[in-house]
Amino acid sequence: MGVKKLSGWKVTFGAIWVGQIFSLVGSSISGFALAWWLTELTGSATVLATAYMVELLPGVILGPFAGALVDRWNRRKVMIGADLLVALLSLGLALLSWAGLLKIWHVYVLMLLRALGGTFHWPAMSASTSLLVPKEHLSRVAGLNQMVQGAQNIISPALGALLLTLLPLHGIMGIDVVTALIAVILLLFVHIPQPQAAAASADGDAEGAQAASPMRALLSDVREGLRFVWGWKGMCIVLGLAMLVNFMLNPAFTLMPLLVKQEFGRGALELGWMQSGWGLGVVVGGLVLGVWGGFRRRAFTSMLGIAGIGMGTLLVGLVPTHVFMLAVAGMGLTGLMNPIANGPFFATIQELVPPAMQGRVLSLVFSLCSAVSPLAMLVAGPLADAFGVRLWYVMGGVTCIVAAVFGRFSPAVLRLEEEGAELREAEGVVAPATATPVVDGV
């Protein structure tokens, strides 16, 4: 006699969504608290940068392999395992903090393992969405997801700062344990269908599964994902544009504290205004996309979003130093356009990539887009020291606008959905009219 599962795509997806919101907020609060703990303990930018790199590397290095494994495994169990890992790690760190034994390397290990869990959790959640949500609602759901992330960027730093005045570090880590467990409990009551290939692999029925070694089969899955993306010309161009935009924008946002302090002569409060302006913009942009749904051709919507990000970033880089609130408005515009750019792109992947391949494709996309960040930071430091932080905002804004214009008039980008549908049919999978599961897995 098992746990009674919730039914209906809205109820099922809503339960998963609510649980992940709790987990996201808990993780954001604990991340804020840990960053502040490192800052107070060391006052070192190198320590904070190292923590950032530790969080980034698992997704960059292991992303494609994690996605291939997610396509073979039960996605619901992957999400449960990742959330349980977060709960256990936070509990361990809370106990170390309570006992007065917490060291910097403990925090690094925690961040590394949590990022490893996230490397599996994100593609499992994203790939499950297309099996639960009707395709006509995918852009709206993507917009709502962006809205939640924006709200978290507004609320979590303020809530984390408040909790630091009320609770010790181990108390805040305890909150992270509770929120992760809420996500796990809700996942126990839902059913997520398995795509056909993944179900076959899980049952040991896939052709040649007995003959191939596990590592060879995993590498074959990764190659399949690479082959699919490489054969999708419009997707390759969009990924190239995304990597270029990330290379130019990531240093700008990382160097924002220096922009506020050195260029505008302001302090931590004004830095908070800039970050909240961006978060508020993301919330509004997510709502707009959730209600509107975007243009019929999703590429138009994404290119509009990229152009808007460029205009907002350029405004921040060019605004006179005595008109600080105009810079805050520029960050708000950048945040507003973020869901407009990203939501339709991920909705296209979720609709057109075969369900059995979505985990590895989504992870590959994330790895490629993130891989440019370390190189960008190596280049950004010396250039910012020589020419000022504003240089990155101006160059980033111009790059976004040029990339959007190029994408708007690129035939391959404009045919992104048609070409994706052709590739899907070539894989022997016809896009469903609704999110009817291919195989009703456990």
Q: CA-to-CA distance for 259 and 264, rounded, in angstroms? A: 7
- Name the residue range of residue 62's domain: 9-191+212-425
Q: CA-to-CA distance for 302 and 309, rounded, in angstroms? A: 11
Report how many domains make up the chain. Answer: 1
386 domain-assigned: yes
**pLDDT of the residue at 301:** 92
2 domain-assigned: no
340 domain-assigned: yes
Q: 80-116: per-residue pLDDT in tens?
A: 888 888 889 889 999 998 988 888 888 888 888 888 8
Q: CA-to-CA distance for 328 and 338, rounded, in angstroms? A: 15
- Alpha carbons within 13 A on the beta-carbon side of 407: 32
What are the φ/ψ torsions at residue 101 (nearest 5 degrees)?
-110, 5
**Mean pLDDT computed over every residue of the chain:** 77
What are the φ/ψ torsions at residue 284 (nearest 5 degrees)?
-65, -45
198 domain-assigned: no
435 domain-assigned: no
CATH classification at residue 134: 1.20.1250.20
Any alpha helices (H) in 189-267, and if so which ranges? 196-203, 214-230, 233-254, 256-258
Q: CA-to-CA distance for 89 and 117, rounded, in angstroms? A: 11
pLDDT surpasses 90 at 314: yes
**pLDDT of the residue at 82:** 86
Average of per-residue pLDDT across 352-367 = 76
**pLDDT of the residue at 345:** 84
Q: CA-to-CA distance for 401 and 276, rounded, in angstroms? A: 24
**pLDDT of the residue at 304:** 94
134 vs 184, residue with greater confidence? 184
Q: 154-195: per-residue pLDDT in tens?
A: 777 667 767 877 888 889 889 889 988 988 888 888 877 766
How many residues are listed for the chain in this entry? 442
328 vs 425, residue with greater confidence? 328
197 domain-assigned: no
414 domain-assigned: yes
pLDDT surpasses 70 at 429: no
76 domain-assigned: yes
Q: 196-254: per-residue pLDDT in tens?
A: 554 444 444 444 444 446 667 667 777 777 888 888 888 889 889 989 998 888 777 77
* Amino acid type, 66: A
* Amino acid type, 190: V
**pLDDT of the residue at 321:** 86
